Chains A and B, each alone.
Chain A
Amino acid sequence: MGEIVRDDAAARPRPGNDNGAAQTVTLVASGAWTLNELPDLEMIEAQSASAPGRSIVIDAAQLTAMDTFGAQTLVSLRRRLRAAGHAADIAGLPEKHARLLTFIGAIAPVDPSEPEKAYDRGLVTRVSASVLCGRDEVLSLLNTLGRLAYALANVAVSPKSFRVTSLVHQLDRAGLQAVPIIALITLLIGSIIAQQGFFHFRKFGADEYVVDMVGILVLREIGVLIVAIMVAGRSGSAYTAELGSMKLRDEIDSLSTMGLDPLEVLALPRVLALIIALPLLTFLGSIAALSGGVLTGWLYGNMHPEVFITRLKDAISLTHFEVGMIKAPFMALVIGTVACAEGLRASGSSESVGRQTTSSVVKSIFAVIVLDGLFAVFFAAIGM
């Protein structure tokens, strides 16, 4: 354990000076001055700082070991004593330690007043930064959408350049592999809606209207919305993470330098796959939700499936089905574009991939709901 003590016995008046205050103080450093065994300097500094103008010698002859931490501590002690107005010096250091001390001592201390990177920003700065950031994000989304349209136009002009294999692969991942979970979730949601309907409508003797509610709600809103949200969480996040890590590993830049458009190669098949898969999944999801309704009616609502289906035929029209299905490809476009744009915005650290993935899912779900609202207004206006 490293130690430093004030050697009072060695305290003596400076030769040729009668003034007792200006005497030489010896601080004896001993032991191992290494990491984890550093001496506590606070005490000794407090003692030495009592009367400025003294001549202080740090006697280091008894040091048994010293590493850069010990050397730094010794150098800082000397520097601080000198700053406090003492004439401080280190003496008697063994040769091998002296070399290290010179090496460390030669490194100039960093000015502590140098400002750190401005982490502590004011509220106004933070708000304005986030507003600007929001603007950038909207612009980058529009930019991606434009570039995707351009890539689509390119593909339309020369269909040979379209990557059919990639599209099929993405259709398998985002469409086919999603079927079981989407069918299960929508079936459950359909059942729950029907159960709630039967439970509350029964009080008014309006059991049969549950079928109308389930039919219209599922076909117009719930089917497409639940499926879109699930696809955003399942496939959108995967797209962002994939593209983000490709960006970090310079794979996107490699494509660009080969003269290929990364959006055409990577994003277009993914977005198109979503545009094809989402309506199909919506159709499947709606059927599953209606089946859930039928099942609940049969098991819980004392309504035979035949009665349910006959009633359903009267309650819904093709329009309700169309309203749901028309929305699906637009939601797919939004989810795909947001996912790809966020993925391509990843930079620097692996943390940013995580951040962009979160942001991709949050933004696409938000956008899907906003879009649904806009469609509701639109369909109401045209009487659908």
Chain B
Amino acid sequence: MDRAVLEVDRICVSLGGREILRDVSLDVQSGEIFGIVGGSGSGKSVLLRTILGLTPRASGNIRVLGTGIDSGEEQWRHTQRRMGVLFQQGGLFSSLSVKENIQVPMRELCSLPVGLMDAMTDTKLSMVGLGASDASKAPSELSGGMVKRAALARALALDPQIVFLDEPTSGLDPIASGAFDDLILTLRNSLGFAVFMITHDVESLRTVCDRAALLAHGRVVAIDTVPALASSRVEEVQSYFHRRSKFSPATRSIH
């Protein structure tokens, strides 16, 4: 379980002449759920996009599943097939049905018999808690939570070894977001993939993540297990956890 599936080594990113990320280093171990927290504009999404190779970096190294991001297009593409990404808005192809969306990676990247592909689509849909009746729906017919589930099913289509989630519970009500957290935990426990997730939701962080890093002004302020972070004395960490957990049941019970 202690094999690093993601290694980020001192990366710096500048966009439009402004430094967004400075010397960010972190690593995610196999089977681990790693959270990135931080205020708006702290560079979380840029970090994710840089790791995915969508935003160019000024310096530093990134290795995903042992492959360096610079190790040639062919090799990186091969690694990309073992990664799953859930974008904040889902990123489902609007002109395809949910079923076709899930089958895109299966169809394009492997040669599977149609029967198995259909069975796997149903399996992936059931895994994320969607029914067979949702399979033929267009993404525009789904609710926000269902879009996230369908997009997760697509991200999991090829059994990735690491899954990147960009604010998976944003825009969901507390019940739906709790259910989504449970779903990610259950899937991780049964399928054993690693998760790199960006979140704003402290509750979700406490429930799901094994370890987390706090990002502020483009730098990693703290990186530790979630309970250790919650009791950290670093000012930024304290203010982040304190401010966000002011209304949590634990604090309320003190009164």
Contact = CB atoms under 8 A, between A and B. Distances in A.
Interface residues of B, number: 24
Contacts, number: 63
Contacts of B141: 348
B201 interface: no
A117 B100 CA distance: 13
Given A35-B159, A349-B95, A350-B94, A72 B123 contact: yes
Interface stretch (B22-30, B35-43, B55-63, B132-140): B132-140
A82 to B, nearest CB: 16
A348 B191 contact: no
Contact of B127 (A69, A107, A108, A109): A107
Interface of A: 34-36, 38, 67-69, 72-73, 76, 96, 99-100, 103-104, 107-111, 114, 116-117, 347-351
A109 B126 CA distance: 10
- Report, nearest first, the 8 A-B pairs whose CB atoms are least far apart: A349-B94, A348-B140, A351-B95, A117-B136, A67-B159, A107-B126, A103-B190, A110-B132
A35 B95 contact: no
Interface in B103-140: 110, 112, 116, 119-120, 122-124, 126-127, 132, 136, 138-140
B123 A107 contact: yes
A110 B159 CA distance: 20
B80 to A, nearest CB: 15
B119 A109 contact: yes
B132 A69 contact: no
Contacts of B191: 67-68, 100, 103
9 contacts: A34-B159, A73-B116, A76-B119, A100-B190, A107-B122, A109-B122, A114-B132, A349-B139, A350-B94
A350 B95 contact: yes
A68 B132 contact: no
B119 A72 contact: yes
Contacts of A68: 120, 123-124, 127, 159, 191
A46 B158 CA distance: 28
A104 B140 contact: no
B156 to A, nearest CB: 8
B123 A348 contact: no
A349 B96 CA distance: 9
